[in-house]
Amino acid sequence: MAELVWLNGEIHPLETATVSVRDHAFLYGDGLFEGIRFYERKVFKLDEHLDRLYYGIRYLDFEMKVAKSELRQIVLDTCKQADEQSGYIRINVTRGTGLGLDPRNINRIPNVMVMVSKLRLFPPEAYENGLTGVFVSTRVIRHDALDPRLKTIGRYVSNIYAKLEANRQGADEGLMLNAEGYLAEGTGDNLFIVDKGGVIRTPHIASGILGGITRKTVIELARGAGYDVREVSMTTYDLFEAEEAFLTGTAAEVVPMCRVDTRPIGCGKPGEVTNQIISLFREETKNGTPF
């Protein structure tokens, strides 16, 4: 696979692509990003990712010069040049270039990047045996400080710190609560549980979570399969009383979580509902935008 980067109109090998040290995301985290998968030369949920990106661009008042339709074609063309069957796409858009917080004093032409590479969040055996999780002390950023629907670069410092907490405890993933103590999300994925009645529950967007595109896809697939899926506020009690738990995300896909804080969830093995959701999701990834 040729790992390629489209950066401000030019294609580069991954190793030689560079941005200015005065880029506003490099200096202040002032940027947006999307992570997207492609499977068998089809980009999965491309338009949904671009929609979220451009909502963020409008909300943060970036002076974007690349139209959504143009960026869509750039993604497909870059994937075609990389000439790989399956992989990972990273899109970055930053406010511009210049030192100082005040956007009035910088060059406000956004720096735009499309990277085609590889990324696997968890090893293959995690999908067979399930993850181990721990609750971490780092809380998700409050929604009244930064709207969780924005996939901002700077926001993820707290997620990285939460991941470090999980690493220090030897866990596969860290689970974050919000300021009120309700379940929120993993460090890079959304959380679902299956209760004793077979109802699938996931934290509501108001809990401070990112409205993940894989999360939305799983909700639609589960409902289509006849499951009752509810977006609600949940506490740690709900997780430990659950029969099953799993995480979702672009990089994670759908992965079981079978132990949290050394305690088993349900029987401590991937459950029937989780395995069905995994199967439905993998079938869904056959659909996408070809390149």
Residues 107-158: pLDDT tens digits? 999 999 999 998 878 889 999 999 999 999 999 998 888 888 899 999 999 9
Average pLDDT over residues 189-201: 96
Q: Whole-number mean pLDDT of the chain?
A: 96
Residues 203 and 262 in one domain: yes
Q: What is the pLDDT of residues 180-193, one digit of tens each?
A: 999 999 999 999 99
Whether residue 145 is found in the same domain as residue 265: yes
Note whether 41 and 108 are same-domain residues: yes
Cα angle for residues 279, 280, 284 (degrees, 5° grid): 115
27 and 101 in one domain? yes
> Does residue 289 form part of some domain?
no
Question: Do 113 and 137 belong to one domain?
Answer: no
**pTM (two decimals):** 0.94
* CATH (domain of 81): 3.30.470.10
Q: Mutual orientation of helices 213-224 and 46-59 as an angle, nearest 10°?
A: 130
Please check whether residues 141 and 105 belong to one and the same domain. Answer: no
The domain that holds 230 is classified in CATH as 3.20.10.10
Kindly indicate the confidence band of residue 2, based on its pLDDT and cuts at 50, 70 and 90. Answer: confident
Specify the DSSP element, H or E, that contains 99.
none
Q: How far apart are CA 110 and CA 8, in angstroms?
A: 9
Supply the range of the domain harboring residue 191.
124-284
The count of domains in the chain is 2
* Neighbouring C-beta atoms of residue 278, cutoff 10 Å: 19
**pLDDT by residue (tens digit) across 30-67?**
999 999 999 999 999 999 999 999 999 999 999 999 99
pLDDT of residue 1: 63
DSSP state of 153: T
Looking at the structure, tell me whether residues 174 and 220 fall in a common domain: yes
Last residue of a domain, one of 78, 98, 117: 117
* 135 and 105 within one domain: no
Domain-ending residue, one of 117, 149, 179: 117
Confirm whether 290 is domain-assigned. Answer: no
Binned at pLDDT 50, 70 and 90, residue 164 comes out as: very high
Is 291 among the domain residues?
no
